[in-house]
């Protein structure tokens, strides 16, 4: 494996790829996925979406877990949640947790934190400082570029940040824009990772991150980000059914540093990632 930046968040990558548990929206869910990852001898990584409540409490929740009506429409929206207090959100029938409590529940777990609102991005640096969690958190955004920039402007110490790259054509341009979007003195320490999206037309609709066919990242681009720039590269597998071991292996063969998944699929990802890390250890030791 290539040697990445020296931030503590990425130290486990020195031993091979990682499995990332998607949607750790509650303490119970985080504890359950931590047990799965531990059972395969893997480092603990989870992902959460974060919003700010009306009383400025950072809450972990994910829209995919919200109840829907008979037409498949969410019965509550992220915008409506932002107008509720933390206590009101806590009483809803959705998975959620206060972010500070989630971080303290499993001290050894690292989190990819996806900020969903600008207010959440403004509040996050102070929470990470108060909880001493900077080394355990990688902050990112998908479409909320303004939120990502707000976080960068408010953070007072080096941190990891993901940038989502939407297609193969502007990948390098987007990376340079990411560097330019934060203050130059902080760019080298903040933009430290990327999440990429794959589409595999040969796998009968099997998709990664749900994007359409022309939005594809090629293995040479992964190698450029990974080997030349030292930027860890992750992806998220979404699938109507559990991904097969073959599918997970195929994505690891593209040079990825980690794969995110949830539900029963997480165990498949964890099993294959664990096998790959073991193979790398044996290779390094000459066995």
Q: Write down the pLDDT at residue 53.
A: 96
118-157: per-residue pLDDT in tens?
A: 899 899 989 988 998 888 888 877 666 667 677 777 776 5
Do residues 76 and 10 lie in contact, with contact meaning Cβ atoms separated by under 8 Å?
A: no
Q: Write down the pLDDT at residue 33.
A: 95
88-125: per-residue pLDDT in tens?
A: 999 988 889 999 999 999 999 999 888 888 899 899 98
Q: Write down the pLDDT at residue 76.
A: 79
Task: For residue 99, give Cα distances in angstroms to 24, 93, 151.
Answer: 10, 18, 16
Q: Write down the pLDDT at residue 129.
A: 87
Q: Write down the pLDDT at residue 166.
A: 36
Q: Write down the pLDDT at residue 38.
A: 97
pLDDT band at 158 (very low <50, low <70, confident <90, very high): low
Residue 259 has pLDDT above 80, yes or no: yes
- Tell which phi-psi region holds residue 262, choosing left (phi > 0), alpha (psi between -120 and 50) or beta: beta
Residue 14 has pLDDT above 80, yes or no: yes
Do residues 252 and 219 lie in contact, with contact meaning Cβ atoms separated by under 8 Å?
A: no
pLDDT band at 240 (very low <50, low <70, confident <90, very high): low
Q: Domains plus CATH for the chain?
A: 17-282 (3.20.20.190)
CA distance 183 to 249: 38
204-228: per-residue pLDDT in tens?
A: 333 333 333 334 556 776 776 666 6
pLDDT band at 181 (very low <50, low <70, confident <90, very high): very low
Q: Write down the pLDDT at residue 287.
A: 61
- As a whole number, the mean pLDDT across the chain is 75
Closest CA to 23 of 191, 237, 279, 281: 237
CA distance 87 to 57: 10
Q: What is the average pLDDT across 247-267?
A: 87
Do residues 89 and 76 lie in contact, with contact meaning Cβ atoms separated by under 8 Å?
A: no
31-50: per-residue pLDDT in tens?
A: 999 999 999 999 999 999 99
């Amino acid at each position: 494996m290539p040697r990445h930046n020296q931030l503590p968040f990425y130290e486990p990558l020195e031993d091979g790829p990682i499995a990332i548990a998607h949607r750790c929206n509650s303490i119970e869910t985080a504890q359950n996925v931590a047990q799965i990852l531990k059972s395969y001898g893997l480092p603990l990584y989870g992902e959460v979406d974060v919003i700010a409540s009306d009383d400025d409490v950072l809450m972990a929740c994910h829209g995919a877990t919200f109840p829907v009506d008979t037409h498949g429409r969410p019965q509550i929206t992220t915008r409506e949640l932002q107008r509720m207090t933390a206590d009101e959100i806590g009483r809803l029938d959705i998975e959620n947790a206060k972010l500070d409590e989630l971080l303290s529940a499993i001290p050894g777990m690292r989190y990819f934190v996806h900020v969903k609102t600008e207010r959440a991005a403004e509040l996050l640096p102070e929470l990470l400082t108060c909880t001493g969690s900077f080394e355990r958190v990688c902050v990112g955004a998908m479409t909320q570029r303004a939120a990502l920039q707000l976080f960068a402007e408010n953070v007072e110490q080096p941190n990891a940040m993901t940038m989502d790259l939407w297609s193969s054509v502007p990948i390098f341009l987007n990376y340079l824009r990411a560097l330019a979007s934060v203050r130059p003195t902080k760019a080298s320490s903040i933009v430290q990772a990327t999440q990429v999206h794959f589409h595999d037309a040969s796998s009968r609709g099997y998709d990664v991150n749900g994007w359409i066919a022309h939005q594809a990242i090629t293995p040479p681009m992964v190698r450029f980000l990974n080997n030349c720039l030292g930027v860890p590269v992750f992806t998220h597998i979404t699938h109507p059914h559990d991904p097969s071991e073959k599918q997970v292996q195929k994505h690891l063969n593209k040079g990825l540093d980690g794969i995110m998944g949830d539900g029963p699929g997480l165990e498949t990802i964890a099993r294959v990632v664990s096998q790959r890390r073991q193979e790398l250890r044996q290779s390094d030791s000459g066995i």
